[in-house]
Structure 1
């Protein structure tokens, strides 16, 4: 890299909050879920807990907190403007319960760069440790990828879905939905995510050259976690990886099949293209 980011390796940030009734109600309403019988919340709710809370005046053009070499900043000022959540590997150690005090420790694990087909790429790996009432509850290894700016005349991605080739027979169970602008807005608000690709259609098209607002990676992960729970109950481990953007208004197929002791999951479009892959085990 042009810069030496070694000072960021091992850098940590801490946050805390309570999983209260209001947050739980908003989470369930956003995802059209009924309240659980007990105090345990559905897996995935941690995406809405201990979120970054940069002041509005400190946000950059893309809606993320402006990049800074401030020693207090967890994220290094990587000089690549486009950012996406590429995937996570998550271990669930205990359920998160209504009323739990949540403590989150985030740590920079690695930062690397390589040349891809679309130009320079930088990969930032973070480790998140979440405790509930002082007990270890969730461990997550998150990968962020930074990319070069899109050319102003670059083709919009992904292309419009053409022939419908998705085959539900290849899967044990399929749920079909069409993500709406309202769902994306609510999930952005719930997770305090101001990345403009998720709610600002002109920005998404004209600046980042997406065909429309992009469905959040952790939203797709949450929907696939719910599907896994419907099939097998709460899981012990879960991982997901983004392959191609899911665009608001496009039909989305959430699919699962059993592979021995593991659940193989995916989000696919009408053409049968895989947008997100995931795996889960009990």
Structure 2
């Protein structure tokens, strides 16, 4: 087994990739979310927008590990670019995105990924590891978007889910300035997994989710919830976002209604939350608008 101290050898490791931001993923994401802001009218040409909406850069530079390099959870095996942390369960738990200028669709783009930090946090449940990776997206030699993502690794579960019942009954929830409810189901999760080339089995393999990771049902992708909050801003405020940060607090499950609420905070920001059916915050985000 890899010693914890050995993991620090991965700090500073870089990966560089070049790609053209093809319009098809934007077209597909628009259809998936059923949001008409970019989708063309029936019979018209595909996406004509040139600017990529906030967080939609997550649809590009997807890791295409060969099938022989896929682990039992569906993720690419660790030990390549990402460190071989000893815990098997992984989640994208939060991130911070700084926008210098908008990425443009159809333009050659460069991505520099860097393993920035690896931290271990011991606790009575086996501890966890936090791996922070930075992402720098550039076009025409200029930095457009810089981002940090926090990946949390947890120990294996000791027992399968004790209950397969998922709460879908909606508790009262106060309306906010900005409101959007999104119904989740296995089709939505499958389409998002396919669009982001995310083969993590908790999103489509119900038996695996229950037996190996102790979830009562298929798990809604954290990045999907974060992108929905970014869309909530875009639907309600015409100002450009300068900074977007989010933190996942608890999982949401297939069949639950994702209740997005948010609104302006002070003059230059917004606060956003995805609530679960019981009214508890599952994912929160903060926005600062550009000057």
TM-score, normalised by the number of residues in structure 2 = 0.89
Higher deviation after alignment, 218-227 or 173-182 = 173-182
Matched, 1:240 2:277: no
Asked whether the 8 Å contact 1:156–1:209 carries over to 2, the reply is no
RMSD across aligned positions (CA): 1.9
5+ unaligned residues in a row in structure 1: which ranges? none
**C-alpha distance in 2 between matches for 1:62 and 1:179:** 22
Q: Give secondary structure in 2 for the equivalent of 1:168.
A: coil
The counterpart of 1:102, out of the listed 87, 98, 109, is 109
Aligned match of 1:46: 57
Deviation at 1:225, TM superposition (A): 0.2
Alpha-carbon contact 1:168-1:174 (below 8 Å) kept: no
Give me the whole-angstrom Cα distance separating, in 2, the residues matched to 1:213 and 1:5.
Answer: 31
- 8 Å Cα contact 1:264-1:279 kept in structure 2: yes
Alignment of 1:181-260 (within 5 A): 181-233=186-238, 234-260=240-266
Give per-residue Cα distances to partners, 1:91-120, cap 9 Å, x unaligned: 112122221112111101110111235321
- Alpha carbons of 1:155 and 1:117: their partners in 2 closer, same or farther (altered >3 Å)? farther
1:23-60 deviation per Cα after TM superposition (whole angstroms, max 9, x unaligned): 33222222223326631122121101111111011100
The match for 1:60 is: 71
Question: Using the alignment, how far apart are the partners of 1:189 and 1:208 within structure 2?
Answer: 21
Report what 1:19 is aligned to: 21
Which of 157, 160, 171 is matched with 1:165 structurally? 171
1:220-273 CA distance string (max 9 Å, x none): 111000001122233111000000001111111011022212211010012111
Equivalent in the alignment of 1:81: 88
Alignment partner for residue 136 of structure 1, among 143, 159, 183? 143
CA distance in structure 2 between the aligned counterparts of 1:102 and 1:12, rounded to whole angstroms: 17
TM-score (norm 1): 0.92
Alpha-carbon distance in 1 for matches of 2:255, 2:166: 11
Q: Matched residue of 1:236: which SS? A: strand
- Alpha-carbon separation, structure 1, partners of 2:251 and 2:87: 19
Contact 1:185 1:198 in 2 (8 A): yes
C-alpha distance in 1 between matches for 2:172 and 2:73: 33
CA contact (8 A) 2:160 2:213 kept: no
Counting matched residue pairs gives: 276
The aligned residue for residue 120 of structure 1 is: 127
- 1:216 Cα deviation after fit: 1.0
Residue matched to 2:41 = none
Shift of 1:154: 4.9
After the TM superposition, which segments of 4 or more aligned residues of structure 1 sit over 4 Å from their partners?
none
